[in-house]
Amino acid sequence: MSRETGRLTVLHLSDVHVTRSGRLYGRVDGAARLAAVAQYVRDAGITPEVVVVTGDLIERGNADAYDIVRRGLDELERAAGCPVFTVLGNHDDADAARILRGHERGHARVALLDDLRLLLLDSSSGALGREQIAWARDALREPHGSGTIVALHHPPVASPMPTLARAGLRDGDDLLDALAGSDVRAVLAGHFHHPMSATLRGTPVSVGPSLAYHQVMDAGPDCVSGHDQAMFSLVHLVPGGVAATSVSLDSPDPLFTSRIA
């Protein structure tokens, strides 16, 4: 695993938007894109310690597609050779999602992976609420091993796009208060359909891109538009910090290829 190189790797996916039948916007097959990530992992030789998927597993109105999601996540887990953890987004169905591993009894939970702790939160309503934030604060009261990763769908930060500036976590400041002084190494989120990074009150936040589509960043101050680009992130926990790299599933012809001795 990549831990042997002195860094811990998280394969971070978000906003898959799987449909039961047909394709999102006539082009996007979320299940096929999960399979493409699994193949990418095999081809590239990526060896993450964990896979985290930060919500919008299905497209709204496709609650009967979670069996497709489950099969895709199982294949990704086999390809990556490590556990896959998921949280819910605003498109997800809280009842139907209970067929997913880890969601049977609830959608906010703590998972331990060797000396790494994952705090998996449910922001599917757009907010966490006082009870869940209090629970998160209590869960972080004692440090654990090499630290904690927090995963949720809505970022506790605003997008630079005017149309998405208010689409982040409604009680983001309250979450950041709860994380202050804890052992949290990084917050992973999605929702915006564009990558973004920030450091807020000393906590690194990595907003992953989307597997479904990417925002057209210059669509205008009153428009939201998406183009067909599937991306995910590789997040590395390194001594003293965090690094995040956006990876596209598009494979244009290379300008050159050199063998490195």
* pLDDT (mean) for 38-67: 97
* Cβ partners under 8 Å of residue 34, min gap 6: 13, 16, 18, 69, 72, 73, 75, 76, 211
- Give whole-number Cα distances, 145 to 79, 116, 118, 151, 157, in Å: 26, 6, 11, 18, 27
Angle at which helices 172-179 and 129-139 cross, to 10°: 20
Say if residue 164's pLDDT is above 90.
Answer: yes
Burial of 256 (0-12, 13-18, 19+ CB in 10 A): exposed
Nearest to 203, CA basis, from 174, 182, 172, 232:
182
Local confidence band at 76 (pLDDT 50, 70, 90 cut-offs): very high
User: How confident is the model at residue 137, as a pLDDT?
Assistant: 98
* pLDDT (mean) for 92-113: 97
Question: 138 vs 1, which has greater pLDDT?
Answer: 138
Say if residue 191's pLDDT is above 70.
Answer: yes
What is the C-alpha to C-alpha distance for residues 31 and 172, in angstroms, rounded to an integer?
31
- Phi/psi region, residue 21 (left: phi>0; alpha: psi -120 to 50; beta: rest), is beta
Say if residue 214's pLDDT is above 80.
Answer: yes
Say if residue 4's pLDDT is above 70.
Answer: no
User: How confident is the model at residue 124, as a pLDDT?
Assistant: 98
> 171 and 206 in contact (C-beta within 8 Å)?
no
Say if residue 221's pLDDT is above 70.
Answer: yes
* pLDDT (mean) for 245-254: 89
What is the C-alpha to C-alpha distance for residues 151 and 193, in angstroms, rounded to an integer?
16
Task: Tell me which CATH homologous superfamily contains domain 2-248.
Answer: Metallo-dependent phosphatases (3.60.21.10)
Q: Could you tell me the pTM of the whole model? A: 0.95
Local confidence band at 228 (pLDDT 50, 70, 90 cut-offs): very high
> 30 and 76 in contact (C-beta within 8 Å)?
no
* Cβ partners under 8 Å of residue 119, min gap 6: 110, 136, 139, 140, 148, 149, 150, 151, 184
Cα Dmax for the chain? 55
Say if residue 95's pLDDT is above 90.
Answer: yes
Local confidence band at 261 (pLDDT 50, 70, 90 cut-offs): low
Local confidence band at 258 (pLDDT 50, 70, 90 cut-offs): confident
Say if residue 31's pLDDT is above 80.
Answer: yes
User: How confident is the model at residue 252, as a pLDDT?
Assistant: 79
User: How confident is the model at residue 7, as a pLDDT?
Assistant: 85
Local confidence band at 2 (pLDDT 50, 70, 90 cut-offs): low
Mean pLDDT of the residues in the chain: 95
Tens digits of residue pLDDT in 143-153: 999 999 999 99
User: How confident is the model at residue 200, as a pLDDT?
Assistant: 96
* pLDDT (mean) for 184-195: 98
